[in-house]
Amino acid sequence: MIDLHTHSLFSDGELVPFELVRRAEEKGYKVIAICDHMDFSNMDFIIKRLVRAVEKINRRGRIYAIAGCELTHIPPEFYKEAVREARRLGAKIVVGHGETPVEPVEKGTNISAIEAGVDILAHPGLITEEEIKVAVKKGTFLEITARGGHNISNGHIVRLGIKNKANFVINTDAHSPKDLITEDFAYIVGLGAGLTSQQVDGIYKKVAHWIKTL
């Protein structure tokens, strides 16, 4: 199980990083990225603490943890600056909080995040085909999410994404222990969004290869 979008209590999650990782390990996780909600007010505080935590976690060799961030409700005109700052501070994975249908995310956020170079566009809602084409060119992964509410548009994302040969990642957007899922359930999320089991296999192989390049 690979999950590249989870949250600790450094933002609105319930667990400290060590407990989050331990509970994920019990679910059968092999890779987990902790990507707390951030903007310019807190990324310098959070990222360095996540970096310190994952360094110790990874010494054990049981599960591979990654320090990341989720840039959240960043105004479109500030996205490039935010991505640069997050990477400078040590975030290995930068997630952009996309235009989910259940939050008032500013219109234009999806394309601004993609053009700024986020690694993953989380729950991008009714993303347009033109935006997906840019994501393909930039190498941005589109998230298929297990999280309730955000997952309303999974089918739309998969339909247009497959048509345009987009890269996908299946994530939980976990905020609490109950949000963590097994690999079998991740397949259900993918199948429910319109993927075949072979396509889900392909997603995990591609994501696993990408992680090795970080």
pLDDT digits (tens, 9 = 90+) for 6-24: 999 999 999 999 999 999 9
Return the exposure string of 142-173: e unless at least 16 CB atoms fall within 10 Å of the residue's CB, then b: bbbbbbeebbebbebbbebbeeeebbbbbbbb
Strand-pair partners of 161: none
Q: What is the pLDDT of residue 67?
A: 98
pLDDT tier at 72, thresholds 50, 70, 90: very high
Q: What is the pLDDT of residue 177?
A: 97
Choose among 83, 88, 124: nearest CA to 105.
124
Choose among 156, 146, 91, 89: nearest CA to 119.
91
pLDDT digits (tens, 9 = 90+) for 24-69: 999 999 999 999 999 999 999 999 999 999 999 999 999 999 999 9
The residue count of the chain comes to 214
Q: Can you list the domains of the chain with their CATH numbers?
A: 2-211 (3.20.20.140)
pLDDT tier at 71, thresholds 50, 70, 90: very high
How many helices and strands, by DSSP H and E, does the chain display? 8, 8
Can you give the pTM of this predicted structure? Answer: 0.97
Contact 21, 63 (CB under 8 A): yes
pLDDT digits (tens, 9 = 90+) for 170-214: 999 999 999 999 999 999 999 999 999 999 999 999 999 999 999
Q: What is the pLDDT of residue 43?
A: 97
Q: Which residues have C-beta within 8 Å of that of residue 110, sequence separation ≥ 6?
A: 96, 98, 99, 121, 124, 125, 127, 128, 131
**Can you tell me the distance from the alpha carbon of 188 to that of 182, in angstroms, rounded to the nearest whole number?**
10
Q: Which residues have C-beta within 8 Å of that of residue 62, sequence separation ≥ 6?
A: 25
